[in-house]
Amino acid sequence: MLTNQDLNQISQRGITPEMVEHQLDEIKKGFPFLKIEAAAAVGNGIFSPTPEERDKYVEEWSKYQEEGHKVVKFVPASGAASRMFKNLFAFLTADYDVPTTDFEKEFFDKRKKFAFKHELCGKCKENNDGACVCDLIKAGNYKEVVANLLEAKGLNYGQLPKGLLLFHSYEDGPRTPMEEHLVEAALYASSDGEANIHFTVSHDHLELFKKKVEEKKAYYEKKYNVHFNVSFSEQKPSTDTIAANPDNTPFRNEDGSLLFRPGGHGALIENLNEIDSDVIFIKNIDNVVPDRIKDETVLYKKLIAGILVDVQKQVFEYLRILESGKYSHEKIEEMIRFVQHTLCCRKHDIKELEDADLVIYLKNKLNRPIRVCGVVKNVGEPGGGPFLCYNADGTVSPQILESSQIDTNNAEYVKMFKEGTHFNPVDLVCATKDYKGNKFNLPKYVDRSTGFISSKSKNGKELKALELPGLWNGAMSDWNTVFVEVPLGTFNPVKTVNDLLRDQHQAVEGGIKHEHHHEHGEGGCCGKH
């Protein structure tokens, strides 16, 4: 099936023909659905700390930071923001010229609330003989405004990554999500005056990110009295997966070459594996808020980090006892209770095991990477949720599931997914070293059977795409996981451009603090002041 040309193409990507054959086989067979015990809830897999417990863990994190450990903030930031502007791209090609849908009307009616309004106005003037946004709208030229926002002649937002768009307005100028993550790193992830932050970016955007960091880094270092170490990595070509036709044969481009596609965020487990750090925070690029409401985010980040170091301390102590061989039956029972209650990992036939087998079981379950995941109350946002699931060894442990991993023919599972009380906002803090200080090899803890097949198209032709086990889903399947309830206010993703109009993304509550209308004769509402 594979030609010599194919074999050359495959080896250039750092992949073997066997891996491609295996991927095609997976596409053909599909993946098994997960066996679920229950949706996680407070008291059953989700820890909801009291205010006193919260303060205790926050204090614990502060002490840990003072001890000089290395902390890294890891931010998945690859991919263009094109999905954010799907509705506006549709408007550009629509057979009407004035805002018609509710989305279009909201975008234009509230345009003064966007942090990019001045930059957009500048581009409009540059490209339209000095006509600002307001002038173009008065003339009924709405599409030209959108073209200046999305296209290369203007701000090029349709092709830029989310991390480099102007999200929030401030007195000292607007900020991108990348800058907001720098600020967050200074506020909860620094240690010894150092804040380490790592962005995973696509190759096309790497230089743009580096340039923006160079422009802004010194300003924020001074503002927060911290030194930033900013690093970047790209998704490896070797983690791309082969695309197939509906009949499971390899999909070919018009020139006859094989089509490889990025394997989804699960590919980033390789990038995470290269981070040498005691604690790693993970949060998506678009989940940021302005300073006026950051306090809550910062507080709960410290809380989940405090729980992580507390759990890790206990795990390490137990592993050292097990290694020494000096333990009583009572101590073994205490460890079992910890694995069952704190790590929510249960083995139904554990009572049948002898002490010697229990020790092997405990060593295996304790000596793994650890993650603490903030979860929020479910408000109907699309995405994954916290569940208790069966593993290949018959144990039950906490997992974050996406809808694609659920058997839609199983009415009970569908009901669990729909009625789950909580949602995963991708708010993770991880510990990836063992009790001897050695780094875990993270790909070893991926459940390879949790990938999924999605339907995509290219040039109007249907294709099957193979998605790797998601970073916080199957890629962390064999980690120890603790779910902690955090407030909904810590979750403010931006999926569409109009999400930036929500109160949580405005510099002041309710939107515009001051607008200098017609002051300097610079095109009224949009003129820079």
d(CA 182, CA 177): 9
pLDDT at 523: 40
Burial class of 211 by CB neighbour count within 10 A (0 to 12, 13 to 18, 19+): exposed
The C-alpha angle with vertex 433 and arms to 432 and 436, in degrees rounded to 5, equals: 165
pLDDT at 439: 97
| DSSP states of 137-197 | HHTT-HHHHHHHHHSTTTT-TTTSBGGGS--B--TT--B-HHHHHHHHHHHHSEETTEEEE
pLDDT at 520: 37
- The per-residue pLDDT of the chain, averaged, comes to 92
For the cut 70, the answer to whether the pLDDT of residue 515 exceeds it is no
Instruction: Give the strand pairing for 71-76 and 279-283.
Output: parallel
Q: What would the mean pLDDT of 188-195 be, rounded to a whole number? A: 93
Amino acid (one-letter) located at 470: G
Residue 372, both tokens: 């603490």
Are 359 and 471 in contact, with CB atoms under 8 Å apart?
A: no
The C-alpha angle with vertex 389 and arms to 388 and 391, in degrees rounded to 5, equals: 140
For the cut 50, the answer to whether the pLDDT of residue 521 exceeds it is no
d(CA 278, CA 70): 5
For the cut 80, the answer to whether the pLDDT of residue 510 exceeds it is no
Amino acid (one-letter) located at 393: D
Burial class of 109 by CB neighbour count within 10 A (0 to 12, 13 to 18, 19+): exposed
| DSSP states of 342-401 | TS--B-TTGGG--HHHHHHHHHHHHSS-EEEEEEEE--S-SS-EEEEEE-TTS-EEEEEE
3-state secondary structure of 64: helix
Residue 338, both tokens: 């910890």
For the cut 80, the answer to whether the pLDDT of residue 38 exceeds it is yes
Q: What would the mean pLDDT of 53-63 be, rounded to a whole number? A: 97
- Entry pTM: 0.93
Place of tokens 């490209």: 127
Positive or negative, the CA dihedral 446, 264, 389, 484 is: positive
The C-alpha angle with vertex 332 and arms to 328 and 334, in degrees rounded to 5, equals: 110
d(CA 235, CA 254): 25
Least reliable range by pLDDT among 209-223, 320-334, 377-391, 506-520: 506-520
382 falls in which pLDDT band (50, 70, 90)? low
pLDDT at 150: 97
For the cut 60, the answer to whether the pLDDT of residue 443 exceeds it is yes
512 falls in which pLDDT band (50, 70, 90)? low
For residue range 312-370, list pLDDT tens digits in order.
999 999 999 999 999 999 999 999 999 999 999 999 999 888 888 999 999 999 999 99
Q: Which residues contact 39 (CB under 8 A, 6 or more apart)?
A: 385, 386, 387, 388, 416, 417, 419, 420, 421, 422
pLDDT at 522: 39
For 385-395, letters b (16+ CB in 10 Å) and e give: bbbbbebeeeb
E-strand stretches of 209-259: 227-234, 241-242
pLDDT at 485: 97
Question: Of 520 and 62, which is predicted with more confidence?
Answer: 62
d(CA 280, CA 434): 14
Residue 390, both tokens: 């069966």
pLDDT at 61: 98
Kindly state the helix (H) or strand (E) to which residue 429 belongs, with its residue range: strand 427-431
384 falls in which pLDDT band (50, 70, 90)? confident
Domains along the chain with CATH numbers: 26-81+165-484 (3.90.550), 82-159+507-526 (no CATH)
Question: Of 526 and 67, which is predicted with more confidence?
Answer: 67
For the cut 80, the answer to whether the pLDDT of residue 1 exceeds it is no
For the cut 80, the answer to whether the pLDDT of residue 413 exceeds it is yes
Question: Of 14 and 89, which is predicted with more confidence?
Answer: 89
Place of tokens 């809830």: 41
What percent of the chain is modeled with pLDDT above 70? 96
Q: What would the mean pLDDT of 218-229 be, rounded to a whole number? A: 97
Describe the crossing of helices 17-29 and 4-12 by its angle, rounded to 10 degrees: 100
pLDDT at 418: 83
For the cut 80, the answer to whether the pLDDT of residue 260 exceeds it is yes
Burial class of 276 by CB neighbour count within 10 A (0 to 12, 13 to 18, 19+): exposed
d(CA 105, CA 108): 5
SS3 content of the chain, % helix, strand, coil (to 5): 45, 20, 35
